[in-house]
Chain A
Amino acid sequence: MSDDTRLFLGLVSVLVIASLVAGVLSWRSEKPLPATLENLNARIKAWWIMVAGISVAFLFGTGGVILLFAFVSFAALREYVTLTNTRHADRWTLLGMFLIIVPVQYYLIWIDWYGLYSIFIPVYCFLAMPALTAMRGDTSRFLERVSEQQWGIMLSVYCISHVPALVTLPIPGNEGRGLLLIAFLIATVQGSDVLQYIFGKLFGRHKVAPSISPSKTWEGLVGGIASASLLGAGLYWLTPFSPFEAGGLAALACIMGFFGGLVASAIKRDRGVKDWGHMIEGHGGMLDRADSLVFAAPVFFHIVRYAWT
């Protein structure tokens, strides 16, 4: 059995078990179902759809995965910009973000031009965007608008684009297995989110940042990241790493993922919303699901690039 088939079957078995557990819990619970259980059912259903979507993208290879993450960036950027202060003078900059920056960044990854895709946004776009906004003449809250646009393009496009960029890393001995590296990163980081949620629900006592998120606890954090690192070590066969290295990289990605979730919560708290959007039932928006990946992907990418290529 090939490694991708094993991974796929593994994911499906996890979802089948989760669905069975949730089904038994719902069956034994009093009706109507309590909100936690309703949410759990919606989340599991959404996971089925997300795993199906990701699997289809993987069937189409590198192109499919690049298209999938270009769409993730588009949806994330749309959610982000909706929450920012935009003025009429920002229209051309905003259109440029959606119609030029997203496609160009992912095209550069497609043609594997590392020298440009790693600086296209932080150098060229970060200078061009405020210049374009300034040319429109409206200086009201200028600094605020420009910073919000730049941070949005950084989070939703630059950082997320480093997930499919993993496929371009020329790791010796890993030829043709770049997609599995992506699967490793997604599985550990998303697994860590789920495990932190479970550990937090079971043992959560001490809140990490009570003013930002009531659901993030030290018990959930430590338990989730430790178990997700073990998961990462157990998935070493997807990667060019040894089990020990795989566990270490997974731990790093999960810690970054935790910070991503924390920063996303702070932004939502600032804007007075609970979720980024309403795209995925039970999960809120795209950024609610991708916030941990946003912080994990570029750091994971650059460490692997530095140490393994």
Chain B
Amino acid sequence: MSANGASLLQTVSGAVLAGLSRAVTGVRPIWAGSAPYGRQRIYFANHASHGDFILVSTCLPFAERRRTAAVAGADYWNAGPIRRFISGRMLRTVLVERNWVERTADPMQVMLAALDAGQSLIFFPEGTRNMTEEPLLRFRSGLYNLAALRPDVELVPCWIENMSRVLPKGALLPVPLLCRVVFGAPLVLQAGEERKAFLERARAALLALAPRKDGTR
């Protein structure tokens, strides 16, 4: 297996998971500002369910899905042999250690290595699943650091709708509900833009893709 391409098992399980998530959620991508094909990308999305990155990768065209990996927490996905098999063999993941007291590898280095190998990333800038009533938590610095160090990579905001109702934290079986993923226009880090200002702008760009309270989309 090359560092860049997906293994056969990953391609097959990716296709099976895409089929399953379509059967359960009927997911449909809405390309509102970016095209399905493009440069190497970081898809940054709201996060409330383990199904989130499967949903985003289901929406990608086959070739793009093959080069896209999800950034996930090593503390969760390395705990136990089953999770390790799923995250290491079946899915395309880039595992980062969130607990920076005990960590052995710098998350930034791990993500940059994946980008330099040509992969696109699915990234959750909130850093964890959002269990609050707030639509979106404050962004952590990771997105800014990646944007500053790899300015050629497109930053595409994706709003994931309803997945937290389909498969909330702690649930085993998904409830079939319609989901959509809205892909917005790519963001570019402006010259001299402050970390805080950029993260606020990225967060606003993602929130702007969410359906409004009155149900209109």
Contact = CB atoms under 8 A, between A and B. Distances in A.
Interface of A: 74-75, 77-79, 81-83, 86, 88, 91, 94-95, 98-99, 271-273, 277-279, 285
Interface string B202-217: 0000000000001111
Contact of A95 (B162, B175, B178, B216): B175
A82 B215 contact: no
Given A74-B176, A82-B162, A82-B178, A277 B26 contact: yes
Nearest to B212: A272
9 contacts: A75-B26, A78-B26, A81-B175, A82-B178, A91-B168, A91-B171, A272-B215, A273-B215, A277-B26
Nearest to A84: B177
Interface in B34-85: none
Contact of B177 (A78, A271, A273): A78
B98 interface: no
B177 A81 contact: yes
Contacts of A279: 26
A70 to B, nearest CB: 13
Contacts of A88: 168
A81 B216 CA distance: 17
A78 B173 CA distance: 15
B176 A78 contact: yes
B168 A272 contact: no
- The range of chain B's interface size is 10 to 19
B28 interface: yes
A285 B177 CA distance: 13
Nearest to A277: B178
A252 to B, nearest CB: 33
Nearest to B175: A94
Nearest to B24: A78
A79 B215 contact: no
B165 interface: yes
A271 B215 contact: yes
Contacts of B217: 273
A272 B178 contact: no
A95 B173 contact: yes
A160 B73 CA distance: 45
A79 B214 contact: no
A79 B178 contact: yes
A226 B196 CA distance: 66
A78 B174 CA distance: 12
Contacts of A91: 168, 171, 175
A194 B175 CA distance: 34
Contacts of B216: 272-273
B176 A272 contact: no
B138 to A, nearest CB: 24
Contacts of A271: 215
B119 to A, nearest CB: 30
Given A78-B26, A91-B168, 14 more contacts: A79-B178, A81-B175, A81-B176, A81-B177, A82-B162, A88-B168, A94-B175, A98-B175, A271-B215, A272-B214, A272-B215, A273-B215, A277-B178, A278-B178
A99 B214 CA distance: 30
Contact of A86 (B28, B165, B178, B215): B165
Nearest to B180: A278
A132 B176 CA distance: 19
A272 B211 CA distance: 11
Nearest to B168: A88
Contacts of B177: 78, 81-82
A95 B28 CA distance: 22
A271 B177 CA distance: 16
Contacts of B171: 91
A99 B176 CA distance: 10
A83 to B, nearest CB: 8
Contacts of A83: 215
A262 B133 CA distance: 35
A78 B178 contact: yes
A88 B215 CA distance: 20
A271 B28 CA distance: 20
B61 to A, nearest CB: 18
Contacts of A278: 26, 28, 178, 180
Nearest to A268: B215
A42 B176 CA distance: 26
A277 B173 CA distance: 22
